[in-house]
């Protein structure tokens, strides 16, 4: 990484917020990934804007990272700039039925704040490990709820670096996709609209969903959540199970015995292990059922 560019990042975000050759296994829930050439943690929207401007001006590859909960990074790492919008940008403000949330706030934290305020509608997200920014990009969902149900507007940086505010109707939020994803916009902030609710009922629903997750998902292992998108008319996990692949493994990567929709890191998995496993599962499921499984996990780097 060009030293002059690194110095500019340090001047913008602070020396302690700029890391060189940072292992990405430390920043993904898979606990897998080689080093990022440069890892920057901006502290506000203005810093994000300036850092992205430098990347574009110098034609440096860049990637926006939240909590790294839906990401597989190559063993060779990423020869560019990782811009992490996370704890430094996680402010939550509440006004009536509206929550204005910075992109780096964890969904679990936002759901807990909604509970404290007696606001209902975000219970489904209480166990999703990602940030609000990532959730908007992917239109994250669980247990019958999706981000499109609660998002009123989103503030983004567009491909030209201009700040834009997009209303719900403009976001084109569909199954694990959105205009933000298609255009490569960077989420800065979202406004969520919730409903009045009984705190006891909200808490009970969150606890019920927590129990479902603990009993059915392999939370004791590093993973990136559901590995495959849900094929129309099917469930990925059932197709994998019915293909006889429960517990199937390649190196340190394994199809969870608890939930076949999850690929887990048993302790020493490499990104190559995971990719080989995914490809073999895709081939076997297609051969047996003529259904093509599409990964939900995002891939970063050279594979």
Among the listed residues 108, 226, 243, 256, the single catalytic one is 226
Other CB atoms closer than 10 Å to residue 57's CB: what's the count? 11
Q: Is 82 left (phi over 0), alpha (psi -120 to 50) or beta?
A: beta
Other CB atoms closer than 10 Å to residue 208's CB: what's the count? 11
Among the listed residues 74, 126, 146, 176, the single catalytic one is 176
State how beta strands 71-73 and 298-300 pair: parallel
Catalytic annotation present for 226: yes
**Cα–Cα distance for residue pair 222/224, rounded to 1 Å:** 7
**Per the structure block, which two tokens stand in for 238?**
């059932």
Catalytic annotation present for 213: no
Buried b / exposed e along 68-98 (16+ C-beta atoms within 10 A): bbbbbbbbebbbbbbbbbbebbbebebeeee
**Cα–Cα distance for residue pair 74/274, rounded to 1 Å:** 10
Q: Are 31 and 265 in contact (CB under 8 A)?
A: yes
**Per the structure block, which two tokens stand in for 26?**
């430390």
Q: Are 83 and 38 in contact (CB under 8 A)?
A: no
Q: Are 202 and 118 in contact (CB under 8 A)?
A: yes
Catalytic annotation present for 168: no
Active site residues: 176, 226, 296
């Amino acid at each position: 990484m060009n030293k002059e560019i690194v110095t500019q990042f340090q001047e913008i975000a602070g020396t302690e917020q700029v890391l060189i050759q940072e292992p990405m296994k430390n920043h993904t829930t898979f606990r897998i990934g080689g080093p990022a050439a440069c890892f920057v943690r901006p502290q506000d929207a203005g810093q994000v804007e300036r850092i992205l401007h430098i990347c574009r001006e110098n034609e440096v590859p860049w990637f926006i990272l939240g909590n790294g909960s839906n990401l597989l990074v190559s063993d060779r790492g990423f020869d560019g700039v990782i811009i992490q919008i996370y704890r430094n940008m996680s402010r939550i403000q509440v006004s009536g039925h509206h929550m204005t949330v910075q992109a780096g706030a964890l969904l679990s934290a936002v759901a807990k704040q909604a509970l404290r305020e007696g606001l209902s509608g975000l219970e489904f997200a209480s166990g999703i490990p990602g940030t609000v920014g990532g959730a908007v990009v992917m239109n994250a969902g669980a247990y019958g709820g999706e981000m499109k149900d609660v998002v009123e507007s989103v503030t983004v940086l567009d491909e030209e670096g201009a700040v834009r505010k997009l209303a719900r109707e403009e976001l084109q939020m569909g199954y694990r996709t959105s205009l933000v994803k298609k255009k490569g916009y960077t989420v800065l902030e979202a406004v969520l609209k919730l409903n009045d609710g009984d705190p006891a009922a909200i808490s009970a629903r969150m606890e019920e969903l927590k129990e479902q997750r603990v009993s059915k998902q392999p939370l004791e292992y590093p993973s990136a959540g559901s590995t495959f998108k849900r094929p129309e008319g099917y469930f990925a996990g059932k197709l994998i199970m019915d293909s006889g692949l429960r517990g199937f493994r390649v190196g340190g990567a394994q199809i969870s015995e608890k939930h076949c929709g999850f690929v887990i890191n048993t302790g020493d998995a490499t990104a190559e292990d995971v990719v080989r496993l995914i490809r073999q599962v895709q081939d076997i499921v297609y051969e047996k059922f003529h259904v093509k499984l599409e990964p939900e996990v995002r891939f970063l780097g050279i594979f």
